[in-house]
Structure 1
Amino acid sequence: MNKARNLAIIFAAAILLGVAFNLFLLPHEILAGGITGIAMIFSLLTPINGGFWLIVLNIPILILGWMKLGKAFIGYSVFSVAVTSIAMLYIPVMKITDDVLLSSVFGGVLVGVAAGVIVRFGGSTGGFDIVGLLLTMKRDLPLGALVFVLNSGVVFISGFIFSWELAMYTMASIYISGLVVDRIHTRHIKLTLMVVTYKGEAVKKELLDNLYRGITVVDGEGAYSAAKLKVLYSVISRYELSYVRPLIKNIDPHAFVSVSETMEVMGNFRRDSNFQKKQIS
């Protein structure tokens, strides 16, 4: 069921990506970033459709992702790239508006939403998304900001080939896309979880069985009741919060749970948990 759900959501997001390219960006020669942007440059300079170039240019990067990120991830990514490419073949390249700035803003938002959703559900749009995800495995960096930096090269290329005015519109579109991606793809955000419960052992066992996270357990005492209780402390990713809530509630619906955003984590914090692998598989 998870695979069918993920594929359906990635399919819809990939179609949205094709809409953003052909109806908002390409008609004004505003480029997307990374490999997709290079494919769009080739499509504008040659009679060959951008969907074809998108597949060809993604092949070596998808092979690298297969080796480093796993078969399921690359399977979703290939599906995403294929659907986007086919959508670009059949969706006509036409202007929704003659306003270039408006097209760059709306195109950037749509690309960011589509790319963020695809990554959130276990795939990627290929190209620099895969490179960015490989880098985020080493350091907890915002994916959107990282891909924005990687994509800057495409802006300079478009400036030399077309015009610097269009290059600035491209930069604006890519920047907006990066902001939207970081609103959706929040794996780099870490949360401090504190659980105060009378069922400490049961809650601890449930969390350890379902999350690959360390937990610190401290003996506590209620200030008014003087009752003995346990305080569980852990750091989790933003993705895991929606998974953790029902786990705790099923064991102790009366537990006091405090969640706060963590600015920085030092020490042994595993960046990819079993939970994330389950979501993809």
Structure 2
Amino acid sequence: MDKVYSALVIFFGSVLLGFAFNMFLLPHEILSGGITGVAMIFSLMTPVNAGIWLIILNIPILVLGWMKLGKLFIANSIYSVAVTSISMLYIPVMKVTEDALLSSVFGGVLVGIGVGSIIRFYGSTGGFDVVGLLLTMKRDIPLGFMVFSLNSMVVFISGFIFSWELAMYTMASIYITGLVVDRIHTRHIKLSLMVVTGKGEEVKTKLLESLYRGITVTDGEGAYSGNKVKVLYTVISRYELAFVRPLIKSIDPHAFVSINETMEVMGNFRKDDNFKKTPGITGESRSA
């Protein structure tokens, strides 16, 4: 059921992209960012549909994603690109409104919803989404900001080919898309997790198996009961919270859990970091 639900979300997100492109952006020559934007430029300059250009230009980037992000991710991405391309072939290119500014705003919002939903379910729309995801794996940078930065080059291209007024509309659309993506795709948001439990060893073992994070473990004592407890502290991503909560509850339903948003993480965090075996530091290797 999870796979079916994921496929449906990616499908409707991709159709939403095709709708936003053909109904809001393309009629006013307001471009999307990255490879999709380049495909739009080529479609406006040649008789070939933007959906066809989208497939052609995405091939080398999807090959790179296959090597770095895995087969499931690329399978979902190919599925998304195919659905978007087909939807752009069948959805008519027509103006919903004559106001280019309104089109850039609403088109940017719809594209952001579509892209954010697709990425959240481990897919992409190809192009700079893949490049952005590869970069955010190495740095704690919001994906929307990263994609916005990469896509800004399309603004300058469109400015030289068409007009700088349209380029500014494009910049507004891309910026709004980035904001919406960051509202939906929250993997860059880090949370501080503190667990006070009488089953510290079991909780620690399960967390290490599931998170591949370092955990700081200290001894504690209940002030009222006098019971000896373990205090576990680590930092997780917003996505990981979804399975951390039920995991802890299944081991110790009476555990005290405190969760706070963390502004910044310094030191080792990801499983592919070069962990330093420093006692008492959350970013230590997989031991406590």
Q: TM-score, normalised by structure 2?
A: 0.91
**Distance (Å, rounded) in 1 between the aligned partners of 2:211 and 2:65:** 25
**Matched letter for residue 41 of structure 2:** I
Q: Could you say what secondary structure the match of 1:224 adopts?
A: coil
Higher RCO (CA 8 Å, separation ≥ 6 residues): 1
**Distance (Å, rounded) in 2 between the aligned partners of 1:56 and 1:232:** 50
- Does the alignment pair 1:81 with 2:81? yes
**Matched letter for residue 56 of structure 1:** I
**Matched letter for residue 42 of structure 2:** F
**Distance (Å, rounded) in 2 between the aligned partners of 1:98 and 1:250:** 56
Q: Could you say what secondary structure the match of 2:134 adopts?
A: helix
**Distance (Å, rounded) in 2 between the aligned partners of 1:188 and 1:117:** 15
**Cα displacement string for residues 151-192 of structure 1 (whole angstroms, at most 9, x for unaligned residues):** 111001111111111110100000000011111111111111
Q: Offset of 1:272 from its aligned partner?
A: 7.2
Greater helix fraction, Structure 1 or Structure 2 = 1
Q: Which residue of 1 aligns with 2:164?
A: 164
Q: Which runs of 5+ in 1 are unaligned?
A: 274-281
The percent of aligned pairs where both chains have the same amino acid is: 77
- Does the alignment pair 1:230 with 2:210? no
**Cα displacement string for residues 102-129 of structure 1 (whole angstroms, at most 9, x for unaligned residues):** 1111110110111011111111100001
Q: Which residue of 1 aligns with 2:286?
A: none
Q: Could you say what secondary structure the match of 1:95 adopts?
A: coil
CA contact (8 A) 1:137 1:271 kept: no
Q: Offset of 1:209 from its aligned partner?
A: 3.0
Q: Offset of 1:199 from its aligned partner?
A: 2.1
Q: Which residue of 1 aligns with 2:215?
A: 215
Q: Could you say what secondary structure the match of 1:249 adopts?
A: helix
**Matched letter for residue 221 of structure 1:** E
**Cα displacement string for residues 71-104 of structure 1 (whole angstroms, at most 9, x for unaligned residues):** 1111111111000000000000111111111111
Q: Which runs of 5+ in 2 are unaligned?
A: 274-288
Q: Which residue of 1 aligns with 2:261?
A: 261
**Cα displacement string for residues 43-90 of structure 1 (whole angstroms, at most 9, x for unaligned residues):** 111111100000011111111111111111111111110000000000
Q: How do 1:178-197 and structure 2 match up within 5 A?
A: 178-197=178-197
CA contact (8 A) 2:213 2:271 kept: no
CA contact (8 A) 1:137 1:272 kept: no
Q: How do 1:60-139 and structure 2 match up within 5 A?
A: 60-139=60-139
> Measured at CA, do residues 127 and 141 of structure 1 come closer, stay the same or move farther in structure 2, by a change above 3 Å?
same
Q: Which residue of 1 aligns with 2:281?
A: none
Q: Offset of 1:224 from its aligned partner?
A: 2.4
Q: Offset of 1:221 from its aligned partner?
A: 1.1
**Distance (Å, rounded) in 2 between the aligned partners of 1:83 and 1:59:** 15
**Cα displacement string for residues 132-156 of structure 1 (whole angstroms, at most 9, x for unaligned residues):** 1111122111111011111111001
CA contact (8 A) 2:212 2:271 kept: no
**Distance (Å, rounded) in 1 between the aligned partners of 2:235 and 2:108:** 33
Q: Offset of 1:242 from its aligned partner?
A: 1.0
